[in-house]
Amino acid sequence: MTRSYANALQQLKARGLRPTRQRLALAKLLLEGGPRHVTAEELFQEARLAGIPVSLATVYNTLHQFTSAGLMIEVVVGSGQSYFDTNPTSHWHYYDKSTGEIMDVPDEAIVFAKLPSPPPGKVIDRIDVVVRIRDAEHAAWPRGARVPLDAWREEAELAEERGRD
């Protein structure tokens, strides 16, 4: 076992996961660069570029196994739209639907004054907070409103001009 896989191997064993070749390779990709947010599709592409022979189904299964084992958390931002966060501690996220970017919210930015009591026989496992954000430039438009056609054309022209610079 090379030194580069030592951290991945240790993490998998510590969580009771059998260190198969594919799990080790995906764990190494996920864990070696520090905390990050990744979709299954992004990890699949990274694996392909790294020469790791793995199917998209295997990537999904592995991410869910890692999540169940507490190696990471799943952040659901929409119907069928999830990110996997390699920081499994309790924390919160911004999600920009226009760019698909997900970012951590600083710990001190959210304060819970009171939580509801769980039903009898239950405990709170974790609290998920996803703050959905959008460009301030369009803040005057109501959420879900259609962008006026003239404004859309103007934005497209500006974007095209920026691309030529």
CATH number of the domain residue 72 falls in = 1.10.10.10
CA distances from 24 to 8, 10, 28, 93 (A): 6, 10, 6, 27
pTM of the model: 0.74
Task: Return the top range by mean pLDDT from 39-53, 78-92, 113-127.
Answer: 39-53
Region 39-46: mean pLDDT is 96
The count of domains in the chain is 1
Of 20 and 3, which is predicted with more confidence?
20
Q: Residue 134's domain spans which residues?
A: 3-164
**Which letter does DSSP use for residue 153 in this model?**
H
